[in-house]
Amino acid sequence: MDLYSEDINKLIDELAALPGIGSRSAQRMAFHIINLPIDRVKRLSSAIIDAKQHVKYCKECLTLTDSELCPVCANEKRDHSTIMVVENTRDMIAYEKTGKYEGVYHVLHGVISPMNGITPADIRLKELIERLKGDVKELIIATNATLEGETTAMYISKLVKPAGIRVTRIATGVPVGGDIEYIDEVTLTRALDGRTDL
């Protein structure tokens, strides 16, 4: 027997399908949404639809943006000869919060993971190699300190080094198995400052 009506169950199911949301959290969120004034619910649904319709990949670094270029790539004051490679947009934002990095980024949207069937062709490596044909002096690899992140870092290093571009890896201030988006700014800054050549 269903405890809730069909509409409530549908809302709970949709919310529970989101990453990191369990059934109890989905229930709490569903009832919170139901109890909101209708104008707030309309703003929420409109924000979701607008984001889905207008957010796209930056044509240069491939982060998510609603413009042709993201604010970092569009900023002429940034050092475009230094590119930091990150796994996802959340990792890029984590580094931006430190306020210490002045280069630009390249977002892979994943890592190489043979166990999960993710090959180099499945992440944004082709676009990275294309960018390296420009005036790039250093490539900082800032993938997570996981087996997949390390595999991806070594793969990129072997791919790029023959081009004569300096390839560095963020220092191990980032704990092994840790996700960059959850690490504090001080640790991220130390990791960036202590990067090493690969």
pLDDT digits (tens, 9 = 90+) for 70-99: 999 999 999 999 999 999 999 999 999 989
CATH of domain 67-197: 3.40.1360.10
Q: Is 44 strand, coil or helix?
A: helix
Collapsing DSSP to helix, strand or coil, 42 comes out as helix
- 58 DSSP assignment: -
Place of tokens 């790029």: 160
Render each residue's pLDDT in the chain as its tens digit; 198 residues.
Answer: 467 788 999 999 999 999 999 999 999 999 999 999 999 999 999 999 999 999 999 999 999 999 999 999 999 999 999 999 999 999 999 999 989 999 999 999 999 998 899 998 999 999 999 999 889 999 999 998 888 988 999 999 999 988 889 999 887 666 667 777 877 776 777 678 777 677
Closest CA to 198 of 173, 159, 185: 159
Beta-bridge mates of residue 56 = 65
65, 56 contact by CB (below 8 A)? yes
Q: What is the model's pLDDT at position 172?
A: 64
- Report the interhelical angle of 89-98 vs 185-193 (nearest 10°): 90
Count CA atoms within 13 Å of residue 32 on its CB side.
Answer: 8
Domains of the chain, by residue range, sit at 6-54, 67-197
| pLDDT one-digit tens code per residue, 47-68 | 999 999 999 999 999 999 999 9
Write out the two tokens for 23. Answer: 């059934």
DSSP string of 158-198, one letter each residue? HHHGGGT-EEEE--TTSPTT--GGGS-HHHHHHHHHT-EE-
Which residues have C-beta within 8 Å of that of residue 10, sequence separation ≥ 6? none
Pick the CATH number of 6-54 from 2.60.40.1120, 1.10.600.10, 1.10.10.10, 1.10.8.420: 1.10.8.420
Please check whether residue 176 is in contact with residue 150, taking contact to mean a CB–CB distance below 8 angstroms: no
- In the 8-state DSSP scheme, what is residue 1? -
DSSP assignment of 126-151: HHHHHHTTSS--EEEE---SSHHHHH
Say whether pTM exceeds 0.85.
no
